Amino acid sequence: MTFLICNFILVMQLLWRVAEQIMGKGIGISVYFEFFYYASAQWLPTTLPLAILLASLMTFGNFGERLELLAMKAAGVSLFNIMKPLIFTVTIVACCSFVFQDKYLPKAQVKMQSLIASIQQKSPTLSIPEGAFYSEIEDMTIYVKGKDIKRSLLLDIMIYDFSEGFENVAVTLADSGRLRMTEDKLNLVLTLYHGEGFSNFDQKQANTAGIPYRREMFRVKELIIPFDANFTRVDESAYDNSHISMNTQELRHIIDSVGHRIDSIESRKQSQFTERHFMGRDQQANRQLLSMDSLSKVAKMPLFNPNVDSLYHALSIPQAEQMLEKSIRRVES
């Protein structure tokens, strides 16, 4: 019971973090059950220690309340022997948890992340409200003043099309219209009745005040709006090179390869700076900038750590004020 309670709390915490991204998508209940299943598996290594801790506290608390723990101590049973079954159980659970995290958790994480990405990519459920601007359709904003449910009509429609850019928006007004989805659920068909449209005729002029516009009047007009309402799953192979899909052995291999690469880059950069730039040979003058004797002498010189406060107090008042002004200007810039 404690395991289920802890797992439920952690899954709900994850759900609240991604609620805005997965809610209102019009997906089936089976997808949500799949989400909870993989979320429970993802939180299993964290849930087990919490559940054991909570159950142990409750058990030993009941022992102490009923004086059973005192009776065990009075009978000569040591505290270690009392807790020996708990220690044995925790050891077994820890080993099983490690095996689960190493073999099965990466697969659950990949499926979980691919499922969340698939839900995020799905278009939201089309529900245009009355008296409010609806902007869930890409590059388009729709305003509907009212709805006639009996005739399935949208009344007093206003459409802003931003597909050509914000400065070249096309506006369409209509008395009424019908909205339906195509059979493949990839497009919306908006049939408008008795309206007119406005759009810029010349979009290349710099002065927007004198740009002529085009006015179109129509009785019936159909707009095809791209709107993918299908639920398409993201390919899980996209997470093959991610750290969430790797076990311990694969992570060690990646760490070793990255370490070798860092060492090679470090040695190459060190050779570049020591042999070519500062301490190496000047390619243009063909001469040695610093000799090895000078390098050894520099290496033997003691480090000098100046006292900044003493240097500042040694300055005169005008010099100190000038130094403060320069420092403030450098910080602000």
Tell whether 254 is covered by a domain: no
284 domain-assigned: no
Given 87, 121, 155, the domain boundary residue is 121
265 occurs within a structural domain: no
The verdict on 112 and 22 lying in the same domain is yes
CB 51 within 8 A of CB 8: no
- Residues 111, 23: one domain? yes
pLDDT score of 277: 52
For residue 258, tell me if it sits in a domain: no
Same domain? 215 vs 313: no
Asked if residue 170 and residue 113 are part of one domain, the reply reads no
Q: Does 260 map to a domain?
A: no
Percent of the chain scoring above 90 in pLDDT: 0
In a domain, 252, yes or no: no
Assess whether 9 and 107 both reside in one domain: yes
201: left (phi over 0), alpha (psi -120 to 50) or beta: alpha
CB 147 within 8 A of CB 154: yes
Q: What is the residue whose two structure tokens read 């309206």?
A: 195
Is the per-residue pLDDT at 295 higher than 60?
Answer: no
Does residue 52 share a domain with residue 26? yes
Tokens of 21: 């991204």
**Pair 156, 177 in one domain:** yes
> Is residue 6 domain-shared with residue 115, that is, in the same domain?
yes
Per DSSP, the residues of 117-131 read HHHHHSPPP--PPTT
User: Per the structure, how many domains does the chain have?
Assistant: 3
Query: Does residue 194 sit in the same domain as residue 95?
Result: no
Residue 114 sits in the same domain as residue 136? no
Q: Residue 213 pairs with which residues in a beta bridge? A: 200
- Shared-domain flag, residues 27 and 87: yes
**42 pLDDT more than 80:** yes
Confidence tier at 210 by pLDDT (50, 70, 90) = low
pLDDT of residue 32 exceeding 80 = yes
For residue 116, the enclosing domain spans 2-121
For the chain, what percent of residues have pLDDT higher than 70?
A: 80
Q: What is the DSSP string of 233-254?
A: PPPGGGGTTSGGG--HHHHHHH
* Averaged pLDDT for residues 144-159: 86
Domain's final residue, options 64, 99, 121 = 121
Residues 113 and 198 reside in one and the same domain: no
Which domain-ending residue is among 74, 102, 121?
121
Question: What pTM did the predictor assign?
Answer: 0.52
**What's the average model confidence in pLDDT over 1-7?**
84
